[in-house]
Structure 1
Amino acid sequence: MATASQLSIDTGASADDLFDEIFGAGVTLVSSTLAGDAVQSGIYTGALETLEGISPSDSGVILSTGNAMDVTQESGDPNVSTGTGTNTAGGIDGDADMNAVAGVSTFDAVIMEAVFIPDGDFLTMSFVFSSEEYLEYVNGGVNDAFGVWVNGSKLDLSVGSGNVLIDTINDVETPNLYVNNPEPDDLYNTEMDGFTVALTLKAPVNRGEENDIRIGLADGGDAAYDSNVLIMGHSVQAVMIAQDDAVNILPDTIRTYDILANDISESGDPGLTITHINNEPVSVGETVTLPTGEQVTLNPDQTVTVQSTGTLGSQSFTYGVVDSAGNADIGFMTVNTVATLPLDHVVEGTADDDLIDAGYTGDPDGDMVDAGDAADGSDDDVIDAGAGHDTVRAGAGDDVVQGGAGDDSIFGNAGGDTLFGGGGDDSIFGELGDDWIEGGDGHDHLEGNEGSDTVFGGTGDDWIRGSYGDDEIWGGEGDDYLWGGYGDDLFVIEDSFGNDTIDAENEDEVNGDTLDLGRVTSDLRIDLSHVNPGIGTVTDGTSTARFDGIENIVLGGGRDTLTLANFGGADRVEGFEAPIDNGDGTYSGVDMLDVSGMTDAEGNPVTVANVTVTDTNGDGSGDAVLHFPHFGESLTLTGVPVSAVSSPAQLVAMGVPDAGRNYIVEGTAGDDLIDADYEGDPEGDRVDANDAADASNDDVIEAGAGDDTVFAGLGADTVYGGDGHDRLFGGEGGDTLDGGAGNDTIEVAKGDVADGGDGDELFLVTDLGEPGEAPITIIGGEGDETDGDTLDFQGLTHWDDVTYADPDSDMDGGLSGNAVLADGTLVKFSEIENVIICFTAGTRIATARGLCPVQDLHPGEMVLTRDHGFQPLRWIGRRTVPALGSLAPIRFEAGVVANKRPLVVSPQHRMLIRGAKANLMFGESEVLASAKHLVNGGSVRRMSGGVVSYVHVLFDRHEIVYAEGAPSESFFPGDIGLEAVDEAAREELFTIFPELRSSTGNFGETARMCLRAHESRLLGLG
């Protein structure tokens, strides 16, 4: 007999709380509802200890047709309570869906519903159903039932009758899926007389769109004797889907089966591992005996070996599986014990080193090679060699062969075969026909032989030969050797291609061999400098592929650079992206030419003056051909017209040097605006025109005298402000900014280094959305100062994230230290006298496009509200004030009010407080309390000093929105609310809502009851 102990259950959980508990990876909650009595649902914890042998999950959601707390009791006999036959006052009677499932009228139902967005194409749920009506009321007309509907369609179990009822899941109908717990045996700590093993339901869903789910539990036939369902925590997910399996087996025999082969995981490295067999935890080598007598053993390769009984029939059991990311699911396997094994149209190998050919008789179902027993009666066989170092000769027909684990040798023989090596170092020969070959993992040897074959190396250092025909060869990852052989072969290179060797072999060609780089997304450098135009290299900076015998090159998706040289011959490429016309006489280069190794006839470096552009047709209508001046070098750009690459400006944008430039954008002695449109440089150098010394946008800009404004734009620029009160904006890229003399304003972002020089500088830290966390370095400078240098973080950090190395109150040497921005970027500063931080910028609000910083919202933005779903934002206002006294903001530490990270709001801002305590004190389950009334000096405290910017968001009515996950109010334009905005903002509000001018009461009521100061403090936060 089990020892009674109470399962911990929170019956105060809201619908959102319940769905947040069961929703897992790949599922996002949009909205939810809960119907039934408050005692019928809750979140349980500690189940692995309290419900040992019942729940494989420590936490989850419990639904009950009675009181959820009655699933266990605190002490004594665990199965003698008289409280498990409750007629629940708030339960739902006669729900049509539940009546249809039970087949009788239903009572005491509890129903939860939600709208959600999945990241996958399937949804799964794991649960345990239990009932006090087991077993004496089975088929007695009181059919307690559990039902789930997705997008209006009921989900059925894929085993048994499909329904989850006491009449269909029991010791007779599904003996392996039911666990008996009768009184007085009481083997398990639950008041229920029986329960299921952990089961699963699955449904197709619409990826990336809103879907709906309905989950219900009800008493069938009467309101007496309760049932419960435990829904495993985070088991409703869309990334790890265990698919059903079935195996045919003779009586009293064993058979090994790969039940994970058809399971789906969205994780990059699935790493699937079996954790349970029929609810029992299992490790490699352990055997589980099912109630029906079959024995299931887990093998080291995560296959299972089934030992059948002597009884004919079908029995199902469950298995639990987890992927490398920790996502878990449950699948069903059905064992069909039959007198004669039917053909399953798959020739299966064993775990040993098999020879599978026309004479092979080892398939457990009797399938054979070339025996006319394929599904369509042909010799188009499907062969699964399985584990071991197998040799497969597929013979006649268009066969499909899976090598599986081990170092396999596969021969396609006749026909157009599809051959997969799988794991191990495999040798695969397509032989006759147009074959499809995939090596998979390992260092494989692959040959297409005759026919026009398609060959994929996969991972590992592979050796591949196409041989005869026009073959398509994909090396994949690893350092591969790719040999084309005869015909016009296509070599496809992808990202992470490795140090490959490509031997195209110029034999029996019509159009020549092609190197296709189109699937590489990174920037490539293709070296065409060899005297033989078919020889060269391609590198992404990490991997280098060497090629010989290539007549055609298709460029990649990144910014590719072609290296040319004297004696380089006549080269041809496809996919070259010509410069982009900026519309002002300048061009921005995309794919580039490196001609630094080329000279003219006198030995001088090549410039645009030395390049002649013609076309392949001779009339301007063909592909552009660039001719260089020394020894007849040329480059044909297939698909590019002459007009796109023939002007000096276009050639300069492509990387050909322009005569006379010094690669410095120079300002004048006046007040210049230097940006991409600036044309005042005496040599014609431009900003972001790809005319830097290396043909990039890494510009050098010297603004000179005057009060200049510089927008450096793209690239890693170097900017000198010079004399005057300059404004310098580095833009994207890791820039170096020097203010020089004068009181300068310098904007910095990720990767920038800024030196203010002499004068009182203002440094503005900004977020341009650049990837990575490249640090920012700021040096204020100490010369010719009056008020000192100011560093304004513009709300991108908090005071808690700023540390000072040497605070200096007399401004002699300034402040130095470090700050960490909200996105993790490190800011190192020195010689700074003033630091400004805004508290509220960066607070994230839940919107239709995800979590967005409040300062980035705009009127019309669809914001998620608690009461009315997504609503359009009508107005947003911002006011910056000293963070002192009554204006100092209030900080809530993470988790205090359901906020995911620290939250800072104005003192008057009201937070939503919910729960039983609020209901008990004020008769409302949800109330609003001002932040200043919740201060407790610890987890909620006032933050004084510096400057604070308050951002107000207004809707058509007072709403509850989500800030950092915490429900809180939107702006309410009452008398106090309007005092928080300036005169201009009030006039703007009166324009949008003219009824407010006569009376603020015209806006309507607040979304919830608003507490006074003494009432707020009763809640226990303040």
Structure 2
Amino acid sequence: MARIPGTSGNDNLSGDQNGAPENDTIEGFAGNDTLRGLGGADSVLGGDGGDYLEGNDGNDTLRGGLGNDQIRGGEGADSLFGDEGNDYLIGNAGNDVISGGAGIDLVLGNEGDDNIDGGAGVDDIYGGIGNDTIAGGADNDLILGDAGNDSLSGGDGNDKISGGGDSDLIYGNAGSDTLSGDAGNDEIFGGAGDDSINGGSGNDRTGGQEGNDYIDVGEGDDIGFANSQTGFLYTNNGGEGDDTMYGRGGSDVLSGDDGADQIYGGDGDDSVLAGGQGYYGEYGLIGGAGTDTVVGEGGNDLVIGGTEADSVDGGTGNDFIVGGSYNPNGSAKNTHVADSATDTLTGGDGFDTFLAETGDIITDFNNATGGDANNGDIAAGTGQGDNDFVDLSGYYNQANLEEINAQRVAAGQSPYGNPLQWMRADQADGTLNDLTALGQDFTFTIRNGGSAVQGSELTWDNTNVICFAADTRIAIASGRDCAAVDLSVGDMVVTQDCGCQPVRWVGKRHLDARTLADNPHLAPIRIRAGALGAGLPVADLMVSPQHRMLVRSKIAQRMFGAMEVLVAAKQLCQVEGIDVATDMTEVTYVHLLFDDHQIITANGAASESLHTGRQAMRSVGDAALDEILTLFPELRDGAERPTARLCASGRMGRKLAVRHVQNRKPLLQ
């Protein structure tokens, strides 16, 4: 090991003076020196002046001292210190430790996993190949991670940082920084200051943190966070990927662009834009707290305004639009937290679904976006389609109808015949608000093209408010009754012969006024309360003409040899209180199918479930028939399944009804 001292002049010194690699200590002292370590683990000290230091082979320590120095590490894991002055430091190969020190430094890590600190001054730092850890230090630094999984930190000052290739971790820290992840799956956080962040390609996680930040999450499936103040959060223009963005506090601007994006505005007055493809799923586009503007643009979007008075626009596509707070995964059923603010909801083109809240306004409720509003189409999973949709059945239903009718009768007014008739009458002045008379806080405005939607344009198809048949009460296992329209596959229903049985299939068929006018034989049969005898049904019952009711009497015993028989409803119209409901302008029929034909209880009266006979199968439609045959493939052979009771023919059913009338006997004894 040799100590090689210089002088106060301009020295040119090299190690290994004995011809073999040694661990030398080379000191330049004052002057502009050229010092080379050559082989071995050398310690090279430049001292004062503008020095050139070179470590070459071995794990060297090179220190520039005062002055503007150029320092090259060479091969090995070197330690380079620029100290004071505007220095040029190059690590070359090996895992180097480099410190720029004070001054305006240019630092190149080159190959290896380098640890670089720019120190004070405006530094340019390039990590090169390898997994580098770089800190810019104070002042405005330029940092490029280059190849490798780098950890980059700007420190104080307005820094410009690029990750380069691979997956990088980038912190802007204090100052207004410009941060770019470039390629790879990067994590980028702005820190304090007004930062500009671009995730680049790859699946990135970006966060603005403090300050008013601009964030472009870039291409890929990204997650972006704004900050607690004001942020601008965008995906790359034309960039693809399914992005998740959070505005947090402040007044944020969030834009999704292409891809199935999930965007949450958070607190503050936010503008949320979905972009091209849109998203329909767990969270979607959420304004959060504050007075927000949320726009779905293209795609099938889930658009949520959040709390306070929001403007919500679904844009093109089939959108689900909510003015208040909404969590699809909050419980077994969707969790919806209503607010009292007046939200403005715009669906745009497409088949849009709105969630009703008090005070809200729908601006463009298209009752037939692609077809007839009353066509009765059965959309997958909903039972309604080809139109905008808002579910008002939670407000306009049989329970509330009974209360409102009680008030009307007390005031000398005629009662409404069904929930749909009531809702249409309430819409006559352009605002749905009758429920306020029941002490319920609900007002709702439905418009299209600047004018209120006519009451006649509100149907079961677009509001889920039923007429009669769908609201028939079916006895279920819990001991209570359930509306037929609310039953689902798997629900346990009370049967007369087999105890509680699970529903295997539920079908709905809606008939509008035009369909009923063209097909009068499909008009429902109304069985008024008590018309069957023994006080049954307990409330008016609406059934399809071919739907069979149970008749229990001695007359049936004499005619058929059985006390109980099933008779189609239309064959019973000779009986007082049973007739064709010619006043009905539309109706929804609900079909319930079990493993076997069953006798169930509807509005207290015994009635049949759907029987898979030829006539019944013709009545359900092709799509429903395909579903049934999938559940029960043995029916494809055309074999008739047994019925729960003997079924009277049309002629014999009419004859049975006539004999009951002639003998003044009820159908149920």
More helix by percentage: 2
TM range (shorter): 0.3 to 0.5
Larger Rg: 2
Q: What TM-score does the superposition give when structure 2 sets the normalisation length?
A: 0.41
Q: What TM-score does the superposition give when structure 1 sets the normalisation length?
A: 0.28
